[in-house]
Amino acid sequence: MDKQKTSIIGIDLGQTADYTAITVIEKHQQETDGKHINLYDVRYLERVPLNTSYPSIIDKVKRIYNSLCKDTDKKPILVLDVTGVGRAVFDSFVQEKLNPVGISIHGGNTVTKDGNIYNVPKRDLAGVLQVLYQSARIKVSSKLRDAQTLNNELLNFKIKINIGTGHDSYEAWRESIHDDLVLSVACAAWYGEKAVGNSERYMRFVVGGSRHGFKRCGW
């Protein structure tokens, strides 16, 4: 792997009735008109079978993490959506020395941080994906088994803002009533953009009401 590239593992941890989704995106930069633009390639997608135990999921993630470590001296970044599972599961990844970053999703307006866990408005995750997807700065390999499912989830991810409260509600077209793949990619992409100083404009998704969705890109 190119030393200039960074692998980010995004995980949407599911509860009993939900899938856990694992994504690996590869981040690199391209210079355009004197500016460095972040580009992302989705290299790996997996829906872990329902009812898989958290220890088994952690073992799987550890194998992926260690495999990526062999490809480069730069360690991958592990980003976990811990919204529904709590701190204990996050701490289990810490104990395995995987150095995770946690994301807890909420419907408000502000990003806050508690240790290595960020509390992130879902509109911010949606905004990052919308910018990347509509500008063709994120690409999904068609060879990946769940690529079409992910693309469908992205295309149908909608946001509605309650004008009175400023809070969000969301609609996503879901394969088998889940939106796990899109959230695993969103968490990884959000952190990839957050970590770049000149990408702060992507952290806000300001809308005036109605619905905003993704448009199909030609790749």
Token digits of residue 162: 């309650």
**Residue 101 confidence (pLDDT):** 96
Give me Rg for the CA atoms of the chain: 16
8 A C-beta contact, residue 78 and residue 11: yes
Residue type, 37: I
For residue 210, the tally of other CB atoms under 10 A from its CB is 9
pLDDT digits (tens, 9 = 90+) for 154-173: 776 655 444 454 455 554 43
Tokens matching residue 131: 């910018």
- pLDDT tens digits, the chain, 219 residues: what are they? 455 789 999 999 988 778 899 999 999 988 877 788 899 999 999 999 988 999 999 999 999 999 999 877 789 999 999 988 878 899 999 999 999 999 998 888 899 999 999 999 888 988 898 889 889 999 998 889 988 888 777 776 655 444 454 455 554 433 345 688 999 999 999 999 986 443 434 333 333 233 334 433 332
Cα separation, 76 vs 107, whole angstroms: 29
Two tokens, residue 161: 């803002």
Domains and CATH numbers, the chain: 6-212 (3.30.420.240)
The pLDDT score that the predictor gives to residue 33 is 78
Kindly report the pTM of this predicted structure. 0.81
**Rounded-to-integer distance, Cα 193 and Cα 211, Å:** 23
CA distance between the termini of the chain: 23
